[in-house]
Structure 1
Amino acid sequence: MELTKKTVLVTGGGSGIGYATAMLLIKKGNQVIITGRNAEKLDKAAKELGVDYIVGDLTDADSVASLVKKLEADYSDLSVLINNAGVGFVYKLGESANAVEKARQEFETNYFAPVRLTELLLPLLKKQPEAAIVNITSNVAFHPLVVLPTYSDAKTALHSHSVALRLTLSADTNIKIFEVMPSLINTDATKDMGGEQHGLPPEVAAQEIYNGINEDRYEIFVGEAGQQYADYLTDPNAAVAKFNQGLY
């Protein structure tokens, strides 16, 4: 799919991978709209990028419905949705972990939000000559990281959903489903995970996303994720142990 002269919505576009991807897509001749819940951050990012923005809480059904109505009214040629917004908690499972509450927040943002937004935008995307949905998951989507246990659960769920959606929509639509699985990226959200010391720049992820879509690679690996996935397919137990070495 040639990613130029398209109208693109990027969730979580105020920083990190979303911001870097928006910047690259603009340079490639696309119209970009960014969305998120932090109005101040979005306004700053939109001014820097020279794009439109829509403030909205993607975990709230009414807010998402309003977002979709605005997109249908003002951006009727929207053809690419990039589900990038995410949240994660660094902790270990145990009797005092409060895992249910952490998982609830992670699933609301990382799974239910993109599933809801995607479903509501399908009628608009189906009207376009070609369209794409891009789900940003993670290398933890195919094997868990013990210090991101329920984040891993949520990203695994979105991975499974992406596969099912791809197969379903391939039967009678022109909508392509891409999944992006990055390794550690240096963003504000990954500081507690060692992102500043060991993470790749978000611009690297943005370039891989752009290249992968243009090359119709439906599973796009960023950084070490490709080798990690190959290792997992070869020997799952050894790959998971290596991935979590020193963490448990």
Structure 2
Amino acid sequence: MKTTGNTVFISGGSAGIGLAIAKKLQAAGNKIIINGRSWERLQKALGELNGAEAIQGDLSVEADRIRIADELKTQYPDVNIIVNNAGAAFGYLLSEQTNAYEKAQIEMNTNYFAIVHFNELLIPHLLQKEEAAIVNISSLAVYGSHKLLPTYGATKAALHSYTVALRYTYQEQGNLQVYEVYPPLVNTEFSAYIGGANGIPASEVADELFAGLAGNQFDIPVGETKRYAAAVGEAMSKLASEEAA
């Protein structure tokens, strides 16, 4: 995938991982459009970016998803990379009886259903491009859950399964590439309540994504996640060898 001359839309781009990706890709010569719910936070982020633009809206809301997709296609017709970074997570203990069902609904809607729908709205447009990409930001949580994030991991596991299927669907066409990034704990405001200060910098995620795009590396584990990915890869290779024998 080319790493310059793209028009890139980044959800959740006003802070954290999304803003770090925006900075990295803009520095490489790409046009950046960031999205977020807060206009104030978007304006602050734009002050850290040179010539980027913003679309305010909540992608977890169907009407906003449709509006934003339409705006991208009409006002930014050159858009050819979509980075699905916006997410929701609740830190709590299931033993606290704190409406786990409602929290899980919000997480699943934001982290999975909204992404499936938003991609569906934009894929026909992306397929018209000579080169296009969808980047889904998942998580180390794909490999297992944490008691302080009891329902979040399941949403990222669902996103992973969908991403793999999406990649298989379009791999023969060649012009639409599907990437998945697996950050571990990252030092952002989003992760503060689970010890985010001990995590890696968001810029490391952006650097790994950039390298992945440049090398057509569709699965992009970051930091600690590389150990898990390597272990799974080794186990799958061993299983394939045993079946072949």
| TM-score exceeds 0.5 | yes
Other-structure match for 1:124: 125
Answer yes or no: is the 8 Å Cα contact 1:126–1:173 preserved in 2: no
Q: Deviations over 1:194-245 (max 9, x none)?
A: 111x10010111100111111111110111001023345668xxxxxxxxxx
Other-structure match for 2:24: 24
Other-structure match for 2:13: 13
Give the Cα–Cα distance (whole angstroms) in 2 for the partners of residues 69 and 231 of structure 1: 42
Other-structure match for 2:79: 78
Specify the SS of the correspondent of 1:78. Answer: coil
Give the Cα–Cα distance (whole angstroms) in 2 for the partners of residues 40 and 58 of structure 1: 17
Specify the SS of the correspondent of 2:94. Answer: coil
Other-structure match for 1:188: 189
Is residue 116 of structure 2 the alignment partner of residue 115 of structure 1? yes
Other-structure match for 1:245: none
Specify the SS of the correspondent of 1:229. Answer: helix
The alignment of Structure 1 onto Structure 2 pairs a total of residues equal to 235
Other-structure match for 2:225: 225
Give the Cα–Cα distance (whole angstroms) in 1 for the partners of residues 131 and 88 of structure 2: 30
Structure 2, unmatched stretches of 5+, are 236-245
Other-structure match for 2:241: none
Is residue 104 of structure 2 the alignment partner of residue 103 of structure 1? yes
Other-structure match for 2:67: 66
Specify the SS of the correspondent of 1:33. Answer: strand
Q: Deviations over 1:70-123 (max 9, x none)?
A: 111111111100000011111222371421111011111111111111110111
Other-structure match for 1:206: 206
Runs (4 or more) in structure 1 with deviation over 2 Å come to 92-95, 228-235
Give the Cα–Cα distance (whole angstroms) in 2 for the partners of residues 195 and 120 of structure 1: 33
State the AA in 2 paired with 1:92. L
Identical positions, percent? 41
Other-structure match for 1:241: none
State the AA in 1 paired with 2:203. E
Answer yes or no: is the 8 Å Cα contact 2:80–2:131 preserved in 1: yes
State the AA in 2 paired with 1:140. A
How is 1:117-196 mapped onto 2 (pairs within 5 angstroms)?
117-172=118-173, 174-196=175-197
Answer yes or no: is the 8 Å Cα contact 2:6–2:81 preserved in 1: yes
Give the Cα–Cα distance (whole angstroms) in 1 for the partners of residues 173 and 59 of structure 2: 28
Q: Deviations over 1:154-204 (max 9, x none)?
A: 0000000000100011233511000000111000011111111x1001011
Specify the SS of the correspondent of 1:35. Answer: strand
RMSD: 1.6
Structure 1, unmatched stretches of 5+, are 236-248
Give the Cα–Cα distance (whole angstroms) in 1 for the partners of residues 218 and 170 of structure 2: 13
